[in-house]
Amino acid sequence: MLTDTSRRAKLISCFAIVYLVWGSTYLVASIGVHALPPVLFGGIRFICAGLLLGAAALVMGSRFQLDATEWRHLVIVAIGSVLIPNSFTNWAMQHVASNQTAILNASAALWIALFATRGRRAHALDRRTLIGLVIGFAGAALILWPPGGKFAATHFDLQLLILLAVFVWSATTVYIRNVHSKLDLLAFSALQMLLGGVMMTGVGLAMGEAARWSWSRPGLAAMAYLTVASSCLAYTAFSWLARNTTPAMVGTYSYVNPAIAAVLGWWFLDEHLGAAQLMGVAIMFAGVALVSWPSREVKRLNEDAQRDPTTAG
């Protein structure tokens, strides 16, 4: 059982990992999908990540006891958190800028908070959370605002594809929160990534991407970073947060990550970041502060954890 201090420290550490690592993945993924076939790139990445996490789980004593219910949960989560979101996003990122992709992902915070008002662990939205979500989304909209105030109509279908990926990812995040699994967090994450990676690889092969594969050094370096830092480290931290904090707090990653991605895209890929975007970053962080201020929430979560030991992982 975690103490108040250790739980708070774990919350801060997990949020820092998710914010910083996933904020950088848009830049790295953009490099990867321009160097390697996008769906196959993602599939092999998740297979490797699943094998690494699975090995770590075995070393730490995890037991992979699977019945029909566990397999159903794993297949649903593999499709909803790996296959659909990553296939759609990787495909779209061949033409959509990394910072634009990150901004579109900001809508996840609203979807997660709204979906989570239903289900076994339903969590109502209080006034402060609603205000914080609205402020955060307004900041994200400013980051999205283009120079000169004129929106380009190019690749609009691909932007919708990214939004659909975010919708599916958000619904699956809430599903994970409400699911009772006999597997521990590490084992569950490993199997869902392995299954999702196999599915993505199968789709990529069916699309003929194997013929376009090359041993690109930038592409393989991007894959290595996404496998270890994003899929293994950050996703494990995110899964712990999904089970141990509120949906609104979990969703704040989708506000912070676009800010980090916008700066990195401007710095490394020459993607423009204007005055509106900088103002949006400041407003977005104000919204995040309202949603995720931890004092009372952490106290309530510890009380919940004492009543329900399955959430104290």
189, 62 Cβ separation under 8 angstroms: no
Pick from 270, 307, 278: nearest CA to 98: 270
pLDDT band at 62 (very low <50, low <70, confident <90, very high): confident
What is the separation of C-alpha 102 from the centre of its chain, rounded to a whole number of angstroms? 11
265-294 b/e with 16+ CB inside 10 Å = b?
A: bbeeeebebeebbeebbebbbebbebbbee
Cβ neighbours, 10 Å, residue 234? 23
Using one digit for the tens of pLDDT, what is the confidence trace for 192-225? 999 999 999 999 999 999 999 999 999 999 999 9
Look at 72 and 122; give whichever has higher pLDDT: 72
Rounded CA-CA distance 9/88 in Å is: 35
Predicted confidence at residue 89, as pLDDT, reads 97
pLDDT band at 302 (very low <50, low <70, confident <90, very high): very low
DSSP letters, 244-267, are HS-HHHHTTHHHHHHHHHHHHHHH
Tell me which of 37-46, 57-66, 173-182, 211-220 is least confident. 173-182
Predicted confidence at residue 298, as pLDDT, reads 45
Tell me which of 32-36, 76-80, 147-151, 176-180 is least confident. 147-151
Predicted confidence at residue 107, as pLDDT, reads 76
Predicted confidence at residue 300, as pLDDT, reads 52
CA dihedral 89, 95, 97, 98 (to 10 degrees): 30
Look at 157 and 147; give whichever has higher pLDDT: 157
pLDDT mean over 148-176: 79
Domain boundaries, given as residue ranges, for the chain: 4-298
